[in-house]
A and B are shown apart, each in its own frame.
Chain A
């Protein structure tokens, strides 16, 4: 069964304290892995798509990496405005083009 597991469930950081969020997945055939940011009461905001092992993408203080079994979202020198829930999702080949499977998310809190 296709599955996505994110860890930790919650993470508290001091401003400037770098860390990583993990997304491990099992999927019959990975078409793409997505990272989103979700603020309270809002819809998920797209961050990155990764398609193959070894691929990396960056945006400001965020960097996403992908292996054959997991993805990491590295946060460098975070600021309080980075506080949000970060969601990981995989898209599998077959069973419908647009099928996305989401993890439960990691709640990140960055304190000054």
Chain B
């Protein structure tokens, strides 16, 4: 089954404790992104990647890191989490076929930083 998976789905942590949220896709997509979703603000892009070893900042990259060492994986790293990073996080992957583009989202990771 074609899918984007994220782990963990739920995470409670404390300020300053480094954490990694994994994202993996099995569709051989070149493009991957991370978003955060907050009430009233919608989805905001954190980072994206156009291919292996090619990443760039989205709208809200502060406090986050990413890496793309393999095509299928795109982990999100919070080196020193803070309470304002409490949010719902989504990973997405996409391909482009001619003019059409389809984005597939993962199930989400709900993070609480105390």
Contact = CB atoms under 8 A, between A and B. Distances in A.
B56 interface: yes
Contacts of A34: 103
A97 B31 contact: yes
Closest 7 CB pairs of A and B: A43-B105, A102-B43, A102-B42, A104-B42, A98-B48, A44-B105, A98-B31
Nearest to A9: B40
Looking at chain B, what size class is its interface with the partner chain?
20 to 34
Interface of chain B, main secondary structure: strand
Contacts, number: 61
Interface string A34-77: 10100001111110010100000000000000000000000000
B50 interface: yes
A99 B58 CA distance: 7
28 contacts: A34-B103, A41-B108, A42-B107, A42-B108, A43-B90, A43-B105, A44-B90, A44-B105, A45-B105, A46-B102, A46-B105, A49-B100, A49-B101, A87-B42, A96-B48, A97-B31, A97-B50, A98-B33, A98-B50, A99-B48, A99-B58, A100-B103, A101-B59, A102-B35, A102-B42, A102-B43, A103-B42, A105-B42
A32 interface: yes
Looking at chain A, what size class is its interface with the partner chain?
20 to 34
A100 B33 contact: yes
Interface string B39-66: 0111111001010000010110000000
Contacts of B106: 43
Interface of A: 4, 32, 34, 36, 41-46, 49, 51, 87, 89, 91, 96-105
Contact of B43 (A44, A46, A98): A44
Contacts of B4: 43
Interface string B55-93: 010110000000000000000000000000000001010
Contacts of B105: 36, 43-46
Nearest to B39: A104
